[in-house]
Amino acid sequence: MTSKHTGFPRLYFATIYSLKGLKAAFYSEPAFRQELAAMVVLIPIACFVDVSVVERILLIMSLFIVLIAELLNSAVEALADRVSSEIHVLIAKAKDIGSAAVFMSLVLAAIVWSMILM
């Protein structure tokens, strides 16, 4: 059994694990790469458009919500695939719900961007 880290070592290892997760998502998930590419384009746009600071934060935050939803969906899919490779109604349901979360985050981002910029 491994000992639990506390204090600064815990923060250090948590950061390492998080970076490993981002790397895994980048290399294994095309949707994550596409959404990241969109962020690379849209964040500079959010920084240069003539909007208030709060609106700028909302524009950028909506993009991060999409990435967060994609990461959680990818985690659910990876776990579901590990549990069983056979088609099962509950695994399909879990994957569909994860996909719906990503879809809703994309809808939210589209609404935020369209309402602020139009």
Is residue 54 within 8 A of residue 34, CB to CB? The reply is no
21 within a domain of the structure (yes/no): no
Query: Residue 3: what pLDDT?
Result: 64
- Cα torsion 14, 68, 35, 98 to 10°: value is 120
pLDDT tens-place string over residues 2-42: 668 888 999 999 999 999 999 999 999 999 999 999 999 99
Is residue 94 within 8 A of residue 80, CB to CB? The reply is yes
**Domains in the chain: how many in total?**
1
Q: What backbone torsions phi and psi does residue 60 show, to the nearest 5 degrees?
A: -70, -40
Paired tokens of 67: 């990435």
For residues 11 and 86, which has the higher predicted lDDT (pLDDT)? 11
pLDDT band at residue 86 using 50, 70 and 90 as cut-offs: confident
80 within a domain of the structure (yes/no): yes
Active site residue 55: no
- Domain span holding position 91: 30-117
Residue for token digits 């208030």? 52
Query: Which of 35, 55, 70, 86 is labelled catalytic?
Result: 70
Q: What is the CATH number of the domain that holds 73?
A: 1.10.287.3610
